[in-house]
Amino acid sequence: MTGLEREIRRTFADAGVQGRLHAAPIDGPTREVGVDPDEPAVMASVYKLPLLVAFCRRVDAGEIDPRERVTVHPAEHTAGPTGLSVLRDPVTMSWRDLACSMISVSDNTAADVLLRRVGLAHVNETLSDLGLERTRVLGGTADVHRSLVTDTATADTAAAFRALTSNDAAPAVRAYDAVLASATTPREMTRLLAAVWSDRAASPERCRFARELLGAQAWQHRLRSGFPPVGVRVAGKTGTLAAVRNEVGVVQFDGERPVAVAVFTRAARAEELLPRADAVIGQAARLAVTELRSGRL
């Protein structure tokens, strides 16, 4: 174990989380930083990144018109804190704007509507096509919510989350299990990001679209919080499910090569809000990226 790896592990432990991390420059696999980079981790909303890539490929194939308009009714909503999930009335928007809402504010409803259009099979085909054999998407957010209700023996999603976010019990749920939930490894997510950044994941035009959406990430309290306020751009996709907090993204200092980083955590505490657990994602990413920028590896 390198000194850096030990330091990152200490940082995770001090924040009360179990963490996995992989960081590598986009341009080559020879330099990297890893903390259990090949251990499986549940994705939570990080699954929206493979879904975005699969959407881009279906657009490239001419099978989906990104400008086609679709109307989403409140009855189809998946529970969630942002985007269409919190609206009261039917909304009509294009497929690509649904994708935009899905990535920039992690809109659960937009993601489930888009997943139905893209097809789960196409998402997994995309993953295996890109050689990501340990990444598997089993369903959308609504499917996860259904499994939570079953596993916590509750009546609805809200009650399931109340059970999950209490420190007085510790229900075992499939959604926390990398074998039974949509899962990946940190290394496979940095590889997927590298494919998006080097125009290999889809056509150059669609890859640029995907990079723009990831760059519009509204949540700044995870990866972004670890880097200086100016002179660096961070594009990413978060994933949150009670004690699970993730973000995968690309950090680019002005004039330097972009670095892909994937951080997956699970907190000991159950609360929905744990600022320290969010911030450690940025701290760990900063330790890794600083090492890769130093040229010492």
Listed ranges 27-35, 47-55, 175-183, 231-239: which one lies at the site for other proteins (CB under 8 A): 175-183
Residue with tokens 């990831």: 214
Contact with other proteins (CB under 8 A): which of 5, 7, 177, 199? 177
| Spatial separation of the C-alpha atoms in residues 51 and 44, rounded to whole Å | 12
Contact with other proteins (CB under 8 A): which of 75, 121, 155, 172? 172
Contact with other proteins (CB under 8 A): which of 103, 142, 178, 202? 178
Listed ranges 95-103, 125-133, 255-263, 267-275: which one lies at the site for other proteins (CB under 8 A): 267-275
Contact with other proteins (CB under 8 A): which of 30, 179, 228, 254? 179
C-beta separation of 268 from 16 below 8 A: yes
Q: Looking only at residues 31 through 90 of this chain, which bind other proteins when binding is defined by CB under 8 A?
A: 40
C-beta separation of 102 from 111 below 8 A: yes
C-beta separation of 175 from 148 below 8 A: yes
Residue number with CB closer to other proteins (6 or 269) = 269
**Helix intervals (H) in 61-131:** 95-104, 108-118, 120-129
User: Minimal CA–CA distance to 49: which of 260, 286, 292, 232?
Assistant: 260
User: In this structure, how many other beta carbons lie within 10 angstroms of the beta carbon of residue 212?
Assistant: 13
Residue number with CB closer to other proteins (17 or 54) = 17
280 SS3 class: helix
Helix (H) / strand (E) containing 54: helix 48-60
Residue with tokens 């890859």: 207
Provide, rounded to whole angstroms, the least separation between the CB of residue 55 and other proteins: 25
| Site for other proteins contains 199 (CB under 8 A) | no
Q: Looking only at residues 223 through 242 of this chain, which bind other proteins when binding is defined by CB under 8 A?
A: none
Provide, rounded to whole angstroms, the least separation between the CB of residue 245 and other proteins: 14
What residues make contact with other proteins under the rule CB under 8 A?
13-18, 40, 167-170, 172-174, 176-180, 267-270, 276
